[in-house]
Amino acid sequence: MTVIIEYWFVMIRSIRTYPDKVLRSVAKEVAELTEDIHCVCADMLETMSAARGVGLAANQIGVPLRIIAVEAGTDKQSAPLVIINPQIVDSTGEESGEEGCLSIPGYYETVKRSRGVVVKGSSPDGDELRLECEGLLARACQHELDHLNGILFIDRLSPVKKQLFKREYSKEKK
């Protein structure tokens, strides 16, 4: 009997932090679900879990492609999920909530977002995904989709808070 052992190296990747330029890049569509893409997806889940995040965008680990991972403990959707080429196709309501970002460690601020969103995309296996989400999951999806467009949650703060962030955060990092 031949035993074939497949080695699958899943890596925890380092998370790029503000003001890394890759966080400002607009991520490109994934054209084909290759083995490399599967690797990136597996690494993203591992990295998100290790960092105890509820979401991660591929450009946060330096891969400028439209892939996000989200995790939100609701009844319907409790498992972490990878979405390739995600798009918000519908949104409802408005809600303010506190947000943080793995790329801006230690900084939290209130951000206004849609309360509910419908996200379309595909799974790493190529299955079509349609996600109707609310609450934390909806917030995570909007935050991660922003990342793919080079937008950070600090961009959504009021001008005064933006100024405050720049002053406090750059002081802290010195």
**Closest CB 19 distance from Zn ion, rounded Å:** 14
Q: Tell me which of 95, 144, 168, 172 is the catalytic residue.
A: 144
Q: CA 148 to CA 2: how far, in whole Å?
A: 44
Phi-psi region of 85 (alpha: psi -120 to 50; beta: other; left: phi over 0): left
Site string for Zn ion, 62-101 (x = CB under 5 A): ---------------------------------------x
Angstrom distances, CA of residue 103 to CA of 4, 107, 146, 147, 160: 39, 10, 13, 10, 21
CB of 131 to Zn ion, least distance (A): 18
Q: Find the shortest distance in angstroms from Cβ 127 to Zn ion.
A: 26
Per CB under 5 A, contacts with Zn ion among 94-133 are 101
> Site size for Zn ion, by CB under 5 A?
1
Which neighbouring-strand residues pair with 84? Answer: 67, 122
Assigned token pair, 168: 């406090």
Active site residue 144: yes
CA–CA gap between residue 132 and residue 118 (Å, rounded) = 4
Is residue 44 within the footprint of Zn ion (CB under 5 A)? Answer: no
Select 45 or 101, whichever has its Cβ closest to Zn ion.
Answer: 101
Q: Which of 150, 116, 164, 159 is nearest to 18 (CA)?
A: 150
Q: Which is nearer to Zn ion, 101 or 137 (CB)?
A: 101
Instruction: Give least dist CB 116 to Zn ion, A.
Output: 20
| Residue numbers annotated as active site | 144
